[in-house]
Amino acid sequence: FADKYLQDQHWVITAGPTREAIDPVRYISNYSSGKMGYAIAHAALRAGAKVTLISGPVNISAPRGCELIEVTSAEQMYQQALTYAPQGTTFIACAAVADYRVADIAKEKIKKDNEHMQLSLVKNQDIVADVAKLANKPFIVGFAAETQNIAHYARGKLKRKNLDLIAANDVAKAGQGFNSDDNALTLYSAFDEIEIPLANKQVIATKLVSLINQHYLAKSTK
Ligand code: C5P
């Protein structure tokens, strides 16, 4: 079936935010809804792929037919991604991973006894960059949410993290990106640059999945 063009592929997708615990009742996180990653999972499934969705805490339900791996923290997402990515043909890093975690998670609820308090943070490991270091690595697609100099930062991440593709969006624009139903993306490879104009995330995902597959096929026949 022409519409099942991903029949022989296995896509491993990270989606949603991560939560970094401060104490038993508090955490640091971000506004990621998971909608973009879930829409990609859905579009890849419709095209016939096997899909493993490694997801942080979100309020949407996983598409029927995917293998859902639920995680909370960046460290948990890292472990699962490094376990599943080598089994895939394609790895999509759509998650908004927290850059830092709390150095020492308090065992008891922190009391408001002091006028000032400080949290010490340590950098989380970069999941997609480490997947790209694997000997048996899949085809790798990253995302870049930027508020300025989008092309410059996106191309920098493509190179530095050793990705095959990076999809960049302008999160400063109203009505697209984080927590929105709509998005607009520019897809960069080392060789080209393709605009996907503002549309519903389902429409964006359908176009993106087809474009990713075209680049994947182009690479594997080289
Ligand atoms: O460096 P930055 O966080 O902007 O890069 C974004 C890309 O890197 C996204 O694809 C995101 O999923 C991925 N990333 C990751 N692990 C991190 C941080 C970002 O996989 N710790």
pLDDT attached to residue 181: 87
Mean pLDDT, residues 13-17: 98
157 is in an annotated binding site: yes
pLDDT band at 1 (very low <50, low <70, confident <90, very high): low
Distances from the Cα of 154 to the Cα of 15, 55, 160, 162, angstroms: 19, 23, 10, 12
- Kindly report the protein residue whose alpha carbon is nearest to atom 15 of ligand 1: 127
Distance from residue 82's CA to the centre of ligand 1 (Å): 14
Residue 125 above 70 pLDDT? yes
Read off the pLDDT of residues 142-168 as tens digits, 9 standing for 90 and up. 999 888 999 999 999 999 999 999 999
State ipTM: 0.97
Residue 177 above 90 pLDDT? no
Establish whether 169 is a catalytic residue: no
User: What CATH number has the domain spanning 2-104+119-220?
Assistant: 3.40.50.10300
Read off the pLDDT of residues 64-122 as tens digits, 9 standing for 90 and up. 999 999 999 999 999 999 999 999 999 999 999 999 999 999 999 999 999 999 999 99
Domain boundaries, the chain: 2-104+119-220
Distances from the Cα of 111 to the Cα of 21, 27, 116, angstroms: 15, 15, 12
